[in-house]
Chain A
């Protein structure tokens, strides 16, 4: 039993980390596609833009629901007694509140822009402007901003956990990196799942390669994470929640789909949907395992 008390960050936070990770990962890769992808690949980016903003709205609901005083959620952004902006660059939760706002604004613009581009806003020929704006230098600059906001959202949650005194969370500096890699792998998996019927074979193959690389990175960081725990590594690998992460994420969510992809050619079939689902489940178990492994070593639950 540790001395630190449990913040009791439960289901809402696991859901937020997971869904926020998907939104951030998909948005990150969409920004990248805008910058370097071919015209055909942009189809995948558009899928991400339709996904990111609605997921972010969902995240905000989860986060507000998690507060014990939900009606005071705005205290994170505005000082309630002076009405000046509230910002502490050294507090990950404070920074994260602003990152969420920035991501919300950016993903909303992308969402509306994509609607216009696809002619779903009834703008007629003005819809074409959205497209030309996207392809202009302004659009490219915006893609960079998209990637920055997505990186922030993906990574700050991991840094937030590290900036505590909870066992496991505070014994490593790799949670931000791990959550970033997991956001990428789950975000891309969500795009694969969403578009495996509509997108071109070739774009899907590219996306799958990007996903596999992110998964490999995630696996490496996960190993690094366990090593970085030092004296607590043994306790983590025997902790039930730690095992959920190692077996569930490492084995089922990363190794198995990577293996299935490697064997796709010799076997003559590529279970793309199964793979994507496995990666998504792995991403969920990663957040679940890390969150509850830490809280299981706190002193007083409740």
Chain B
């Protein structure tokens, strides 16, 4: 295996500009996600607002391979609330003590990738850069990968002659990387929140940044996916300022194959019991018959 490449995303410097989303759409020629695509004669309809802070993307989709999240937190208790109830009512009604967490979410290019594991056609492969890539001409649209991904990254999409009906997600700009270019999103990021490089280099940088933040009085700063605890490590890992769940990231995602052996053994037990039941049902009567008429011969 040659060197693994990926993203280190420092969420503390994300300003929520969504330049990464725009760059991703441009480079990968992803259409805007509208209610109705514009035509020659009609301008097209925009999507309804999500009403969720500045987030109007909502979630990953077949055309949104990046998704900048805006998490609103209110640290200061609103009038009349006790300290204990704060954690249960994070919104202060006037929203004048708001704290924003912003994070540009993307495919994690997991070291042990659930999507790649379950893919029955071999459409999902690991590239020479250790990224996870979907080969559109191979995918037959079974959607196993969609339910396998613990981050909700993969969605089905594509138009005629553009991989219609196949699984879509971030490619880590495989086409750019093959020509020595930085992925579009990292190139566009104005604050270097999204950093691209060799995973080993990025980890050193990230660990130093966490140490600096701890020294500056932010003990909550933590890395997500930099070690091997989450799916063997994430080739797109994060520096977070709160628990993963606050960012909508799973703290303990599951590897699909973990279930195969125990589930199979339990199902074998079930089959064995069904067979024993059948044995009892069909043999018992024969024994009774035999007892009633011992002269009757076995078949």
Taken together as a complex, chains A and B put the C-alpha atoms of A90 and B277 apart, in Å, by: 30
Contacting pair A76 B264 (CB below 8 A): no
Query: With an 8 A cutoff between CB atoms, is B200 at the interface?
Result: no
Return chain A residues, CB-CB under 8 Å to B262. 173
- Known: A163-B256, A173-B262, A209-B280. Is A6-B270 also a contact (CB below 8 A)? no
Contacting pair B146 A151 (CB below 8 A): no
In this complex, the interface size class of chain A, counting residues with CB under 8 Å from chain B, is: 35 or more
Return chain A residues, CB-CB under 8 Å to B119. 88, 91
Taken together as a complex, chains A and B put the C-alpha atoms of A36 and B299 apart, in Å, by: 10
Contacting pair A217 B270 (CB below 8 A): yes
Closest to A86 in B: B122
Q: Looking at the complex, which of B149-157, B212-220, B233-241 is the stretch in contact with chain A?
A: B149-157
Contacting pair B154 A5 (CB below 8 A): yes
Query: With an 8 A cutoff between CB atoms, is B12 at the interface?
Result: no
Return chain A residues, CB-CB under 8 Å to B123. 75
Query: With an 8 A cutoff between CB atoms, is B143 at the interface?
Result: yes
Interface hits, B31-75 → A, CB 8 Å: 58-61
In the complex, what's the smallest C-beta–C-beta distance from A27 to chain B, in angstroms?
12
Contacting pair A165 B254 (CB below 8 A): yes
Closest to B143 in A: A7
Contacting pair B274 A28 (CB below 8 A): yes
Which among B120, B266, B280 is the interface contact of A94 at CB below 8 angstroms?
B120
Partner-B contacts on A (CB < 8 A): 2-9, 28-29, 32-33, 36-39, 41, 66-70, 72-73, 75-76, 79-81, 86, 88, 90-94, 96-97, 147, 151, 154-155, 158-160, 162-166, 169-170, 173-181, 184, 202, 205-207, 209-210, 213-214, 217, 221, 298-300
Beyond A91-B119, A300-B152, list 6 extra A-B contacts (CB 8 Å).
A5-B153, A75-B122, A76-B121, A91-B118, A165-B147, A202-B285
Q: Can you offer 11 A-B residue contacts whose CB atoms are under 8 A?
A: A6-B146, A6-B147, A68-B156, A88-B122, A91-B144, A91-B256, A164-B114, A164-B147, A180-B267, A202-B285, A206-B282
